[in-house]
Amino acid sequence: MRVLVSGGAGYIGSHTVVQLVAAGHDVVIVDSFANSKPAVIGRLEALTGRHLPVHAFDLTDRDKTERLFADEAFDAVIHFAGLKAVGESAQIPLEYYENNLDSTFSLVRAMRRHGVNLLVFSSSATVYGEHAPLPYREDYAPLQSSSPYGRTKVMIEHVLSDVAAADPQMRVALLRYFNPVGAHASGTIGEDPQGIPNNLMPFIAQVAVGRRDKLTVFGDDYPTADGTCERDYIHVEDLAAGHVAALNKLASTQEPVSIWNLGTGQGTSVMEMLHAFERAVGRELPYDVGPRRAGDQPQSWADPAKANAELGWQTCKTIDDMCADTWRWQSANPTGYEG
């Protein structure tokens, strides 16, 4: 298939591009580079041995989006593009809603106008909100989220579900990611957050490489085994494989909307992850314990049974793999793509 990958220069997008090419798909990237670096493209071309066409614009630009679809024929779209910082989304919510919704509107409108019917969307476990029972199952309702960022994911799930329900040709996959970590085994692509990382793994990696003094653990008095929050970490390579599997499934399913959790089904605590990273690095890493962070759930993990059964997909990588691969990327690229 010829696949348009929006946000293809981002963390999950870039790893998915590599696997799409390996699976025999033609890939075209559209990315605004607002939160990603042009340098990733050269790395992707080296990894894939292909020239990768890149369109550098923001999908909220309807004219450019329309022109792209008029100029090129796509079989499918994987839509990663979007603003994604939970904390920032509470500071500038209008920008989050406008950007994430308008880019989706623009993309879907162009898809419909040009007969592109397969869409894979980057959703998130955040849509399960605060009250879903563990493990999270795809049939839980109603969706809700505690941040404007998360609410854009809820809203886009509703928009795409309703659009697909009204259009007999359209097939939409809503992929609910748990906590993506890790990097490509080559160490040439990986997560490169701007500013202070919001997520645990890149923060630990930056401590290990000397960019941050120490890790602050946000609360150790949660009702969990060691008192720190537990999350379902998924290796980005497993996650990328889930996208390739979902794309293949979309081409044959009769379901207008398919929702799949992409997670391992296992929770790992902050302290467990820190210690696993210490094993990967070969030394202890400094940390202290701070207060709880507003909006953090004590525990979150997937029931991945639906994706396992329907996609013939499952995660393979361990927590130690995640740490080793993250460390390989971070130590080879201590300041990310801008060396």
Minimum distance from residue 303 beta carbon to its own copies (Å): 21
**In angstroms, rounded to a whole number, what is the distance separating the alpha carbons of residues 293 and 284?**
24
For the CB of residue 295, give the shortest distance to its own copies in the complex, in Å: 13
The only residue of 23, 134, 155, 305 in contact with its own copies, by rule CB under 8 A = 155
Question: How far is it, in rounded angstroms, from Cα 214 to Cα 196?
Answer: 12
Q: Which of 149, 177, 222, 337 is catalytic?
A: 149
Which part of the chain contacts its own copies (CB under 8 A), choosing from 14-22, 143-151, 312-320, 331-339? 143-151
- Which DSSP state fits 265? S
Candidates 162, 221, 255, 320; binder of its own copies (CB under 8 A) is 162
The one among 139, 166, 283, 288 contacting its own copies by CB under 8 A: 166
Q: Which stretch binds its own copies (CB under 8 A): 71-79, 138-146, 184-192, 322-330?
A: 138-146
Sorted by sequence, the CB contacts under 8 Å of residue 34 that are 6+ apart come out as: 58, 83
The least CB distance from residue 223 to its own copies, in Å, is 23
- For its own copies, the binding residues in 266-325 under the rule CB under 8 A are none
Among 15, 151, 235, 243, binds its own copies (CB under 8 A): 151
Count of C-beta atoms within a 10 Å radius of residue 251? 12
Q: What is the DSSP string of 81-142?
A: -S---HHHHHHSHHHHHHHHHHHHHHHHHHHHHTT--EEEEEEEGGGGTTTPPSSB-TT--S
Please state, as a whole number, how many other Cβ atoms lie within 10 Å of the Cβ of residue 252: 7
Q: Is residue 159 part of the contact set for its own copies (CB under 8 A)?
A: yes
Q: Is 149 a catalytic residue?
A: yes
Q: Give min distance, CB of 105 to its own copies, in A.
A: 5
Measured from the CB atom, the residue of 45 and 98 that comes closer to its own copies is 98
Identify the residue among 2, 158, 214, 279 touching its own copies (CB under 8 A). 158
Total Cβ atoms within 10 A of residue 254: 6
The pairing of beta strand 287-290 with beta strand 215-218: parallel
- b vs e for 28-60, b when ≥16 Cβ sit within 10 Å of the residue's Cβ? bbbbbeebbbebbbebbeebbeeebebbeebbb
DSSP classification of residue 24: T
Select the residue interacting with its own copies from 142, 223, 282, 291 (CB under 8 A): 142
Give 142 or 291: the residue with its C-beta nearer to its own copies. 142
By C-beta, is 33 or 57 nearer to its own copies? 57
Token pair of 185, please? 């085994």
Which of 8, 10, 135, 148 lies at the binding interface for its own copies (CB under 8 A)? Answer: 148
Q: Which is nearer to its own copies, 142 or 223 (CB)?
A: 142
- Distances 104 to 6, 76, 82, 113, 120 between C-alpha atoms, Å: 10, 14, 9, 14, 12
Q: Determine the Cα–Cα distance for residues 280 and 303; give it in Å rounded to an integer.
A: 28
Q: Interface residues for its own copies in 76-135 (CB under 8 A)? A: 90-94, 97-98, 101-102, 105, 108-109, 112, 129
* 146 versus 299: smaller Cβ distance to its own copies: 146
Cα distances (angstroms) measured from residue 267 to each of 190, 241, 244, 302, 319: 22, 21, 25, 9, 10
Q: How far is the CB of 138 from its own copies (least distance, A)?
A: 17
Task: State the nearest-atom distance from the C-beta of 121 to its own copies, in Å.
Answer: 14
23 near its own copies, judged by CB under 8 A: no
Q: How far is it, in rounded angstroms, from Cα 297 to Cα 211?
A: 28
Region class of 60: left (phi > 0), else alpha (psi between -120 and 50), else beta: alpha
Which residues belong to the active site? 149
Binding site for its own copies (CB under 8 A): 90-94, 97-98, 101-102, 105, 108-109, 112, 129, 141-142, 144, 148, 151, 155, 158-159, 162-163, 165-166
